[in-house]
Amino acid sequence: MKIGSIVIRCYEFDKMKSFWQEALHYTPREPAKDGWVVLCDPLGRGPNVSLDQVAEKRTGRRSRLHLDLYTNEQEKEVERLIKIGATRYPWRYRPGDDFVVLADPDDNLFCVVQVTGKI
């Protein structure tokens, strides 16, 4: 398993997309759609940076950043992570979702994403 993407939830989606593309010299894996884009290192060296649009500006200390862990064996890794201290987060999944949301021992959320191919 490896870090596949660092996800930033953002209010100013277009500004954030432009900023992170320029700052990291990353390119979109696919065109942005419905307030979601995955920016990739064109050399394949660094983790992806994904932007997820939200409806309101951040207030207080709520985090807008989490890790996506990529794996070929999602069920196995989810169970392993639960055994070492993670808990399942009660997420409202939609049909076809390829991720499972977990919380670490300090209640920070992260996703375990099923991928195909080499990791």
Encode pLDDT of 3-37 as tens digits. Answer: 999 999 999 999 999 989 998 899 999 999 999 99
Q: What is the mean pLDDT of residues 87-110?
A: 91
SS3 98: coil
119 within some domain: no
In this model, does residue 59 exceed pLDDT 90? Answer: no
Helix (H, G, I), strand (E, B) or coil at 8: strand
Q: What is the mean pLDDT of the chain?
A: 91
The predicted model scores a pTM of 0.73
Contacts by 97-103, CB closer than 8 A, 24 or more apart = 99/68, 100/74, 102/78
Give percent of the chain with pLDDT exceeding 70.
97
CATH number at residue 40: 3.10.180.10
Q: Is residue 66 part of a domain?
A: yes
Check residues 78 and 117 and name the one with the higher pLDDT. Answer: 78
Indicate whether 8 belongs to any domain.
yes
Say how many domains are in the chain. Answer: 1
